[in-house]
Structure 1
Amino acid sequence: MLYRALLLIISAALLSGGAFAADDEADYGHIAGKVLTTDGKPVAAVSVVLKDTRKMTVTGDDGRFSLKHIRSGNYELEASYLGHDRQVQTVTVSGGATTEVTITLNISSVNLKEFTVTDNRNPYKETAPSNSLRLNGLLIEQPQNIQVVTGRVLADQQITSMNDGIARNVSGVTRLEHWGDLYARLNMRGSRASAFRNGMNITSTWGPLTEDMSVVDHVEFVKGPAGFLMSNGEPSGIYNIVTKKPTGVTKGEATLMTGSYDLYRGTLDLDGKLTKNGKLLYRLNLMGQMKNSNRAYEFNKRYSIAPVLTYKFSDRTSLTLEYLFQHVNMFDAGSFYVFHPDGYAKLPRNFTTAEPGIDPTIIDDHSVQLNFQHSFNPAWKLTVQGAYTDYKQEGSTMWPIAVNPDATMIRGVGIWDAINRAEFGQAFLNGEFHTGAVQHKILTGIDVGNKHYLADWSQTIPLDSNNAFFDLNNPKYGSPVMGLPKFDRSKSLKERAGSNIVDQFYTGLYVQDELGFFDNALRLTLAGRFTYVQENSYGTKTYDNRFTPRIGLSYSIDKSMSVYALYDVSFLPQSGILENKDEKVKPVTGNNIEAGVKKDWMGGRWNTSLSAYRIIKNNELTPGPANSNFSVQLGQTKTEGVEFDLRGEIVKGLSLVANYAYTDSRISRASETAAVGSKKGDVVPGYAKHNANAWLHYKLEKGLLKGFGISAGFSYQADRTTWSWGGTGQDPMPSYFRLDGGLFWQKDRISVNANVFNILDEYLYSGAAYASYYYWQAEPGRNMRLSVGYKF
Structure 2
Amino acid sequence: MKKLYNLSLILLLILAVTNCASAQQSRGTIKGKVSTSDNKPADNVTVALQGTKYGTITNENGEFSFKAPAGNYMLHVSAIGLMTEEKPVVITAGATVTVDFMLKESAHDLKEVSISDTRRKYKVDAPSQSLRLNEPLLEVPQNIQVITSDQVKEQQVFNMLEGVSRNVSGVVLQEHWGNYALMYGRGDRIAAFRNGFNIEATWGPLTEDMSFVDRIEFVKGPAGFMLANGNPSGFYNVVTKKPTGLTHQAFSFSAGSFDNYRATADFDGVITKNGKLQYRLNVMGQKADSWRPNEFTNRFLVAPVLRYKFDDKNMITAEYTYQYQHMSAFGAGYLFSTKGYKDLPVDFTNVPSNGPASDIYDHSAFLNYEHKFNDKWKFTAQGAIFNYKQNGYSYWINSIQTNGDVIRSLGLWDASNRGKYAQAFLNGEVKTGAVKHRILGGVDVGDKYYIADYFQSGALDPENAPFNIYNPNNGPVTLPTFDRSLPLGQRGLGAVSMQHYQSAYVQDELGFFDQKLRLTLAGRYTHVWMSNADVSQAISDNKFSPRIGLSYSINDRTSVYGVYDQSFLPQSGILANGGGNPNPITGNNIEGGIKRDWFGGKWSTTASIYQITKNNQLIANPEDPTGRTVLQLGQTKTHGVEFDARGEIVPGLSLMANYAYTNSEISKDLTASRVGAPVPGFAKHVTNTWLTYRLQSGELKGLGFSAGYLWQLHRYPWSLSTRGTDVPNYFRLDAGTSYQFKRFNVAVNVNNVLNAFLISGGHQDYLNGAGATVYNWQAEAPRNIRASIGYRF
Determine if contact 1:117/1:791 at 8 Å carries over to the other structure: no
Q: Cα offset for 1:573?
A: 0.6
Which residue number corresponds to residue 438 of structure 2?
441
Q: Cα offset for 1:479?
A: 3.4
Tell me which of 172, 183, 190 is aligned to 1:174: 172
What is the root-mean-square deviation of aligned Cα atoms in Å? 2.2
Matches of 2:618 and 2:242, distance apart in 1: 39
Determine if contact 1:82/1:121 at 8 Å carries over to the other structure: no
User: Greater CA deviation, 523-532 or 568-577?
Assistant: 568-577
Q: Cα offset for 1:734?
A: 1.1
Matches of 1:187 and 1:426, distance apart in 2: 27
Matches of 2:725 and 2:81, distance apart in 1: 54
Q: Cα offset for 1:478?
A: 1.4
- Would you say 1:161 and 2:159 are equivalent positions? yes
Matches of 1:322 and 1:121, distance apart in 2: 29
Cα deviation code 1:667-696 (max 9, x no counterpart): 001124x7xxx6100000101000000001
Which residue number corresponds to residue 149 of structure 2?
151
Q: Where do residues 588-603 of structure 1 align in structure 2 (5 Å cutoff)?
A: 588-603=585-600
Which residue number corresponds to residue 5 of structure 1?
none
Cα deviation code 1:706-730 (max 9, x no counterpart): 110100000000000001112x458
Matches of 2:676 and 2:339, distance apart in 1: 27
- Would you say 1:537 and 2:537 are equivalent positions? no
Q: Cα offset for 1:153?
A: 0.5
Amino acid in the other structure paired with 1:765: I
Amino acid in the other structure paired with 1:781: P
The count of corresponding residues between Structure 1 and Structure 2 is 692
Matches of 1:368 and 1:442, distance apart in 2: 29
Partner SS for 1:305: strand
Amino acid in the other structure paired with 2:654: S
- Would you say 1:657 and 2:656 are equivalent positions? yes
Partner SS for 2:575: coil
Which residue number corresponds to residue 777 of structure 1?
778
- Would you say 1:712 and 2:707 are equivalent positions? yes
Matches of 1:303 and 1:116, distance apart in 2: 35
Which residue number corresponds to residue 425 of structure 1?
422
Which residue number corresponds to residue 414 of structure 1?
411
- Would you say 1:694 and 2:716 are equivalent positions? no
- Would you say 1:787 and 2:788 are equivalent positions? yes
Determine if contact 1:570/1:589 at 8 Å carries over to the other structure: yes
- Would you say 1:386 and 2:383 are equivalent positions? yes
Partner SS for 2:166: helix
Determine if contact 1:172/1:691 at 8 Å carries over to the other structure: yes
Partner SS for 2:490: helix
Amino acid in the other structure paired with 2:792: K
Q: Cα offset for 1:85?
A: 10
Determine if contact 1:193/1:238 at 8 Å carries over to the other structure: yes
Matches of 1:166 and 1:160, distance apart in 2: 9
Tell me which of 283, 287, 290 is aligned to 2:284: 287
Determine if contact 2:381/2:425 at 8 Å carries over to the other structure: yes
Tell me which of 232, 238, 243 is aligned to 1:241: 238
Determine if contact 1:388/1:424 at 8 Å carries over to the other structure: yes
Tell me which of 748, 757, 768 is aligned to 1:754: 748
Determine if contact 1:117/1:749 at 8 Å carries over to the other structure: no
Q: Cα offset for 1:41?
A: 5.9
- Would you say 1:371 and 2:368 are equivalent positions? yes
Matches of 2:104 and 2:416, distance apart in 1: 53
Over 3 Å counting, the alpha-carbon distance change for 1:116 and 1:290 in structure 2 is: farther
- Would you say 1:297 and 2:294 are equivalent positions? yes
Matches of 2:428 and 2:541, distance apart in 1: 31
| Structure 1 stretches lacking a partner, 5+ long | 1-35, 43-79, 88-102
- Would you say 1:518 and 2:539 are equivalent positions? no
Amino acid in the other structure paired with 2:647: G
Q: Cα offset for 1:527?
A: 0.1
Which residue number corresponds to residue 502 of structure 1?
497
Matches of 2:266 and 2:103, distance apart in 1: 26
Matches of 1:783 and 1:185, distance apart in 2: 23
Over 3 Å counting, the alpha-carbon distance change for 1:104 and 1:283 in structure 2 is: farther
Q: Cα offset for 1:634?
A: 0.4
Cα deviation code 1:125-177 (max 9, x no counterpart): 01000000000100000000000001110110011101110010000000010
Determine if contact 1:83/1:120 at 8 Å carries over to the other structure: no
Amino acid in the other structure paired with 2:570: P
Cα deviation code 1:188-229 (max 9, x no counterpart): 000011100000000000011000000000000000001000
Which residue number corresponds to residue 734 of structure 1?
728
Q: Where do residues 244-393 of structure 1 align in structure 2 (5 Å cutoff)?
A: 244-393=241-390
Which residue number corresponds to residue 138 of structure 2?
140
Matches of 2:253 and 2:578, distance apart in 1: 54
Over 3 Å counting, the alpha-carbon distance change for 1:230 and 1:788 in structure 2 is: same
- Relative to the length of structure 2, the TM-score reads 0.85
User: Greater CA deviation, 119-128 or 701-710?
Assistant: 119-128
Matches of 1:755 and 1:222, distance apart in 2: 29
Which residue number corresponds to residue 215 of structure 2?
218
Q: Cα offset for 1:178?
A: 2.4
User: Greater CA deviation, 265-274 or 459-468?
Assistant: 459-468
Over 3 Å counting, the alpha-carbon distance change for 1:422 and 1:385 in structure 2 is: same
Determine if contact 2:191/2:234 at 8 Å carries over to the other structure: yes
Which residue number corresponds to residue 645 of structure 2?
646
Matches of 1:326 and 1:119, distance apart in 2: 31
Amino acid in the other structure paired with 1:233: G
- Relative to the length of structure 1, the TM-score reads 0.85
Partner SS for 2:543: strand
Q: Cα offset for 1:538?
A: 2.3
Cα deviation code 1:604-654 (max 9, x no counterpart): 010000000000000000112323442110000000000000001111111
User: Greater CA deviation, 658-667 or 460-469?
Assistant: 460-469
Partner SS for 1:495: helix
Matches of 1:711 and 1:206, distance apart in 2: 35
Amino acid in the other structure paired with 1:574: Q
Q: Cα offset for 1:485?
A: 2.7
Matches of 2:723 and 2:114, distance apart in 1: 56
Which residue number corresponds to residue 737 of structure 2?
743
Identity, % of aligned positions: 52
Amino acid in the other structure paired with 1:657: M
Determine if contact 2:682/2:717 at 8 Å carries over to the other structure: yes
Q: Cα offset for 1:121?
A: 5.8
Which residue number corresponds to residue 26 of structure 2?
none
Matches of 2:104 and 2:734, distance apart in 1: 39
Matches of 2:448 and 2:202, distance apart in 1: 10
User: Greater CA deviation, 570-579 or 295-304?
Assistant: 570-579
Matches of 2:370 and 2:493, distance apart in 1: 42
